[in-house]
Amino acid sequence: MNTWTHTTVLLNEAIDALITRADGLYVDATFGRGGHSRALLAQLGAAGRLLAFDKDPEALAEAAQIRDERFSIRHQGFAALGELPPASVTGVLMDLGISSPQIDNPERGFSFRADGPLDMRMDPTRGQSAAEWLAVADQRQIAEVIRDYGEERFAVPIAKAIVARRQERGPLASTAELAELVAGAVKTREPGQNPATRTFQAVRIFVNGELEELQQALEGSLHVLQPGGRLVVISFHSLEDRIVKQFIARHSRAVVDRRAPFAEPAPTLLRALARVRPGEAEVAANPRARSAIMRVAERTQAPLPANHRGGRA
């Protein structure tokens, strides 16, 4: 039995923002270790329902400990959110990124803090591991991933080092090997940040298709949320937050059909409600909360016109 624990970030703030009625159907799109789900269930009435999604088998095992007929979970990524019936959901919560147990368990390969297999998959039973991808990707592709998903200015030297190492001694197999190689390729780094931080983030995001899945899930939320339903998203780095921010802004603006400039604009689909950061006390108690940003939006009452062609819902 492992001892890795997870402290849920912005727990009370997320639940307060999400719940508008106790008898609704809510979705915890990223169950993780269930902190938000348990708090949600505590606030729902007897007629309320909670559906969760998660790709991680360890999360599914944790969810099996919840003995509540109002709760169910699907072994799927949250991109599947849009498969739910239209306008059937009262609120959607997305807590993005990885959980502390995933980071702290060396066997998952997410962190450079302890040596372990270079895996990084949210679902280790499916798809290509980080080691498998780095063993076959060319230098240009590796550099693009590290630059675009890690915002790493030394992406090209790191990619060159990975390919050179592969040619000389064979593919990378462990987190320690990758961290050591990156440290040798990165010339300078911000105080207090490990040189491998951005590279590990980038490879993890790419291997799991995290940003693409987030975009699909956000679009799916428009499809499944009822008028007045809430969308609550907690992100932990700028790439995620930028996608969420732009999504809410785009669907909060009225759309004018340029072919009919005097016609009424298409109604907005979302209304931005809040942007919340953790307080000083939470950050002091849980330093991993320091980068969190929670954005809250509400599905508007106005339905799309039957002849709308914008593809926004």
Bridge partner list, 263:
none
**How many whole angstroms separate alpha carbon 204 and alpha carbon 261?**
45
Residues in the chain: 313
> Is residue 170 classed as helix, strand or coil in its secondary structure?
coil
**How many whole angstroms separate alpha carbon 130 and alpha carbon 118?**
6
Write b or e for each residue in 234-248: b if 16 or more Cβ atoms lie within 10 A of its Cβ, otherwise e. bbbbebbbebbbebb
Instruction: Tell me if 217 sits within 8 A of 208, measured CB to CB.
Output: no
**How many whole angstroms separate alpha carbon 173 and alpha carbon 133?**
11
| Assigned token pair, 198 | 């951005």
Strands (E), 66-182: 71-74, 89-95
Q: Which residues are annotated as a binding site?
A: 34-36, 54, 78, 95, 102
**How many whole angstroms separate alpha carbon 49 and alpha carbon 129?**
35
Residues 6+ apart with CB under 8 A from 193: none
| Assigned token pair, 60 | 């599914």
Q: Which residues are annotated as a binding site for S-adenosyl-L-methionine?
A: 34-36, 54, 78, 95, 102
> Is residue 241 classed as helix, strand or coil in its secondary structure?
helix
For the beta carbon of residue 312, count every other beta carbon within 10 angstroms: 16
